[in-house]
Structure formats: structure tokens, C-alpha cells
Amino acid sequence: MEIKAIRTEADYLAALREISDLIDIDPAPDAPEGERLDVLGTLVQAYEAKHYPIDPPDPIEAIKFRMEQSGMTVKDLVPYIGPLNRVYEVLSYKRSLSLNMIRRLSEGLHIPAEVLIRESEPVAA
């Protein structure tokens, strides 16, 4: 199994094509093709992390996403943020998250604290 590093966009695209072909044959993980797929996947992931980094989401958008995912309403955020009017202020970017809010949201809604401590900026509609 000869595999080379992914250094260029052409290498990257070739690796993606090969991964697609390997996925189509659905190899067993311990088969040579399965091992090749695993190694190529790791190389592509490293290339993408370096060349196409994804910024963490806006904290408020992360909260809204988790609410949508979980079928939560604004009232369901009261235990994490405080009184209903405060929840509305936070969700409308009129109030920043406090450290205690971040802790409760992180623990209760399983949103990474690293996401919640970022500066929030209203998303243009």
C-alpha cells in the first residue's frame, strides 16, 4: 500500500476520488482496501483542517441550534440563563452571556464552553 502525502489541491482531489471509489466497494476494515480507505481519510482530514478550517459557531446561534435540535422553547432556557426577559435579551444579542450562564448552558445543553465564550455578533438575516 503506497500512499503519499497530500500537499496540493490536485493531490487532495485525487484522494477524494479514490476515497469515493473505495466507499463504493465497501471494503472490510481489515482488508487492504479498508486500511487504505482509513489512511486516506486521515490524510484528507488533516489537509482539510489545515486548508479549510471551520470557525466555531456564534454562541447564540449554537444555543438556537441546540434548541431546535432538542425541540426546546425559549421557556426551556430559563434554568440556564435566568428569567424569561433575560433569555429574550440574550437571544436577541442585547445581553452577553455571563460566566454562570456559560457554565449552566455547557453542562445542561452540552454546548462546549469554548463555543459559548466567543464574542457574539448578530447574524444578518
Q: In angstroms, rounded to a whole number, what is the distance separating the alpha carbons of residues 86 and 119?
A: 18
Asked if residue 91 belongs to a domain, the reply is: yes
- In terms of residue numbers, what domain contains 103? 59-116
Written as tens digits, the pLDDT of the chain (125 aa) is: 688 899 999 999 999 999 999 999 999 989 999 999 999 999 999 999 999 998 888 999 999 999 999 999 999 999 999 999 999 999 999 999 999 999 999 999 999 999 999 888 776 65
Same structural domain, 63 and 112: yes
Asked if residue 124 belongs to a domain, the reply is: no
Asked if residue 1 belongs to a domain, the reply is: no
Domains contained in the chain, number: 2
Contact indicator for 40, 27 with CB cutoff of 8 Å: no
Asked if residue 3 belongs to a domain, the reply is: no
Asked if residue 68 belongs to a domain, the reply is: yes
Which three cell numbers, joined as nine digits, stand for 107?
Answer: 453542562
Asked if residue 46 belongs to a domain, the reply is: yes
Same structural domain, 81 and 105: yes
pTM across the whole model: 0.62
